[in-house]
Amino acid sequence: MRHLGVLALFLFLSLIWGQTANGDDGRPTCRRCDLHHACNCSYSGFTRVPMVTDQALSLDLSFNNITMVTQDDLMGHSRLTLLDLHANGLAEIHPSAFDSLWSLEELDLSDNQLTVLNPKWFNKLELLQHLNLLNNPYSFLGSPSLFLGLSELRRLMFGGPDLKELRREDLSGVTHLEELTVNANNLDRYDSGTFGDIWPLGRVTLSLHGPFLTNPALAAAVLNDVCYPETWLTLSDLHLAHYVSVQPFKDSINMIRYLSLRNVSLSDEACVSMLALLDGVPLSSLSIVGLTLTGEGRWVTANRTDLRSMDEFFASDVTILDILKFAMVSELQYLLQYQKKLSIINAKLFLLSCYLTKMMVNTLYLDVSDNLLTDLTLTYMLCDSEETLQELRVLNISGNLLKSLSTLSRLVTKLTKLTQLDVSRTSYNSMPSSCSWPSTLRYLNISRAKLTIVTPCLPKSLEVLDLSYNDLKEFVLTMPILRELHLSGNKFLRLPAGGPYPNLQTLTIQSNTLNAFSLSDLQSYRRLENLEAGHNKFVCSCEFITFLHSQLTGSGDVKITDKHQTYVCDSPLYLQGEAVSQVNLSIIQCQPVLFVSVSCGVALLLGILVAGLLWRCHAFWFLKMTWAWLKAKRSSQRRRRQRNTEGTDPLLSFDAFVSYSEQDASWVENFLVPEMEEPSDSDSENPTSPLTLCLHKRDFLPGHWIMDNIMSAIERSRRTVFVLSENFVQSDWCRYELDFSHFWLFEAGGDTAILILLEPLSKDDVPKRFCKLRKLMSSTTYLEWPQEEERRPEFWRSLRNALRGDNEEQD
């Protein structure tokens, strides 16, 4: 167990070292920088500012444990434009810590432990545009103003639960902002005019929970300073419990054109008071996200509220605490009848009365998605067969409990100006064979339903059709003006044929079961420009890989618009999981028949060339000779071992073995044999005894392999005589005899060979393949056959002496 613990500790330390190696001064190092010099060092457990490349343009140090920034931590980073120190527990920053960051444009110090803000931090940050100081435990901004030198500041966020006061001089130097966010839920003091000098002011987000409840005058002063007709105002975390809590809007509501409420609770009393304030004001847009209604919906007293200037009303994530007692009576139609754009999303809405929709004569856009509408309540909402919503262009009823597509088509047919219809995330599982739709319908979304088949029910007037994430296996309909078709998340095995869609420009068919698609598939679409087909089960054949490579590089007419990494091989198994863009198959895998054909052709050609070369160099002849020599050599060695075993000496039967060409046989038989084997009486004073010669015609044993006869004859002869001529060098058998003689002479310890030249023959006249003969001619004295009669006795005498050699001397 002790060894396991040591091993675990070693692995842990190795991991930490590999990720955050320490520099020479003990500071950690972060190397997670991309090609654009953006360094992401978040969530790394750093306790100090790490060292990074001085080429870094952005540095993300969020979600670490850095509690202090020293004077030297950021030295040398003059190119840095973004620094994120969010959520570190940062408590101390040296006054000159940011002095070298003169290129910095964005600084995030939010969610730390800074109790005091030092204006010296920002003295050298003249290019700073975005500054986030939210959710630190400081109670005031400090003096002098933090922002005096920040003339380029466009986005400012500050405040937190501990912010208590804002003085007029706190924002000196801030002249105009695109976005201002202030978290002042517990603000106790506000000097009127603190925000008054900031102009223009694009978007303002205020959290004023406490002031609205306990100090409405303070809240009103803040609103008066930030409310302009051009400013988008967002208020968050409000609890409007009674009419007093609504009074901060009283003086500024006429200046507000765009109002957004986030995380707001409203009582009936506060709601009625708010509606009274909104009566006749020029408010153009009201958005409420995260609305909690604590009352019972009894707002009848506000039934004369004039909201005709409000073009847009948006409400989402609505919670009614006591829904059983909540009453929405038809007299409240004034709330919704004037809006051109109306959204009630995720509000548990199960009914919208026909009477109300009939009053919505100006509505162009209606979104009631993510509610509890059914086919029955939708029928009631759209007044069944009666006319309603005659100006409606866009209808979104997605995420409701709808089941009948035929009911839907019947209801919307009377919406004669409807162009866009979203019924996604419903429970449609079938489609009737025919339907009626408004002729103006151009966009239809039935994605994330349960359709298994499509029918001619779909209108031919569509330009955009989304059937993503159903259970479709095919799509065969004629839609002449369709421009976009979305089929992702189905079960298509192949691309739909392009003929029925002559104007299709965009096709998305991701996350299906496509195995491949080809150039011919794409060419069937006459005007296709964009294709998204990633996340499919591609079979990476050579044809598909070659084709897709060309498409991904943009060489085709159709542009692949999704990420190249989404095109991944599913098979063959050895390529599974590999991005198609990274796969390169060899010619052996792609063209095996061609490869084998070419390889065989090349091999045949090389074989012919090598054979020709070998023939030219007499290699076959050499091989043949070598094989015969080796075989004969083995036979000779066997006989020798036998003699050694028996303890006998070699039997010498001949004085000489004569090697000659068959064409020179007449000379051997008529001159050489009679002269050597018959007693010589030419010299009466010194008569010579006859010699015994071995001739292949006469002395070879019949029935034996000729090679064995040659080797045996050479072994049983004291000398070997070579009768050289042009005929000799052309004879293969002479070559055998020469090789075997050479073997015997130099490997078995025999005497030198005797060479007789029947005709003038130099070493250069002998072919190079007779290498041993050429060597013998260079190192051995040879006898030349004289053409003159008077010189021949001397020739025979020299030959006899050579044949007798040492034997006569011993005698």
Residue range 765-778, pLDDT digits in tens: 666 666 666 676 66
166, 129, 114: which is closest to 145 by C-alpha? 166
Q: Is residue 531 pLDDT above 70, yes or no?
A: yes
What pLDDT sits at residue 359?
87
Mean predicted confidence (pLDDT) in 723-734:
74
Q: Are residues 661 and 785 in the same domain?
A: yes
Better-scored residue on pLDDT, 325 or 319: 319
What pLDDT sits at residue 448?
97
155, 173, 76: which is closest to 119 by C-alpha? 173
The mean-pLDDT minimum among 227-236, 330-339, 459-468 falls in 330-339
pLDDT above 70: percentage of residues in the chain: 85
β partners of residue 365: 341, 394
Q: Are residues 698 and 772 in the same domain?
A: yes
Q: Is residue 5 pLDDT above 60, yes or no?
A: no
Residues 6+ apart with CB under 8 A from 440: 416, 417, 418, 419, 461
Q: Give pLDDT tens digits for 373-414.
A: 999 999 999 999 899 999 999 999 999 999 999 999 999 999
Q: Is residue 430 pLDDT above 60, yes or no?
A: yes
Longest CA–CA span in the chain (Å) reads 172
In the chain, the number of structural domains is 3
Q: Are residues 219 and 277 in the same domain?
A: yes
Q: φ, ψ for residue 729 (rounded to 5)?
A: -70, -10
Residue 319's H or E segment, with its range, is strand 312-320
CATH code assigned at 728:
3.40.50.10140
Q: Is residue 801 pLDDT above 70, yes or no?
A: yes
Q: Give pLDDT tens digits for 189-211.
A: 999 999 998 999 999 999 999 99
d(CA 795, CA 369): 128
Q: How far is CA 423 from CA 313, 366, 445, 631, in A?
A: 21, 13, 6, 94
CB 191 within 8 A of CB 167: yes
d(CA 45, CA 575): 37
Mean predicted confidence (pLDDT) in 59-75:
96
CATH code assigned at 157:
3.80.10.10
Residues 6+ apart with CB under 8 A from 339: 307, 310, 311, 312, 313, 360, 362, 363
d(CA 459, CA 413): 11
Q: Are residues 797 and 683 in the same domain?
A: yes
**Tokens standing for residue 48:** 């100090």
Q: Are residues 151 and 207 in the same domain?
A: no
CB 413 within 8 A of CB 383: no
Q: φ, ψ for residue 705 (rounded to 5)?
A: -60, 135
Q: Is residue 23 pLDDT above 60, yes or no?
A: no
In a domain, 3, yes or no: no
Q: How far is CA 529 from CA 27, 479, 504, 522, 627, in A?
A: 53, 17, 8, 10, 73
Q: Are residues 151 and 105 in the same domain?
A: yes
In a domain, 789, yes or no: yes
In a domain, 448, yes or no: no
The domain in which residue 44 lies consists of 35-178
Q: Are residues 141 and 208 in the same domain?
A: no
Q: Is residue 217 pLDDT above 70, yes or no?
A: yes
The mean-pLDDT minimum among 8-12, 99-103, 306-310, 563-567 falls in 8-12
What pLDDT sits at residue 427?
94
434, 313, 423, 447: which is closest to 371 by C-alpha? 423
Distance of CA 19 to the CA centre of its chain: 24
What pLDDT sits at residue 255?
95
pLDDT above 90: percentage of residues in the chain: 58
Q: Are residues 298 and 210 in the same domain?
A: yes
CB 63 within 8 A of CB 39: no
d(CA 445, CA 453): 15
Q: Is residue 665 pLDDT above 50, yes or no?
A: yes
Q: Are residues 234 and 301 in the same domain?
A: yes
Give whichever of 612-616, 738-742, 787-791 has the largest mean pLDDT: 787-791
Structural domain ending residue among the three candidates 339, 356, 389: 339
In a domain, 219, yes or no: yes
Grade residue 755 by pLDDT with cuts at 50, 70 and 90: confident
The mean-pLDDT minimum among 18-22, 197-201, 469-473, 798-802 falls in 18-22
What pLDDT sits at residue 746?
46
d(CA 289, CA 313): 11
What pLDDT sits at residue 1?
43
In a domain, 9, yes or no: no
Mean predicted confidence (pLDDT) in 27-37:
92
CB 219 within 8 A of CB 195: no
Peptide bond preceding 572 in cis form (omega within 30 of 0): yes
Q: Are residues 167 and 304 in the same domain?
A: no
Q: Are residues 66 and 141 in the same domain?
A: yes
Mean pLDDT, all residues of the chain? 86
Structural domain ending residue among the three candidates 292, 316, 339: 339
If 0-12 CB within 10 Å is exposed, 13-18 middle and 19+ buried, where does residue 462 land?
buried
Q: Are residues 208 and 174 in the same domain?
A: no
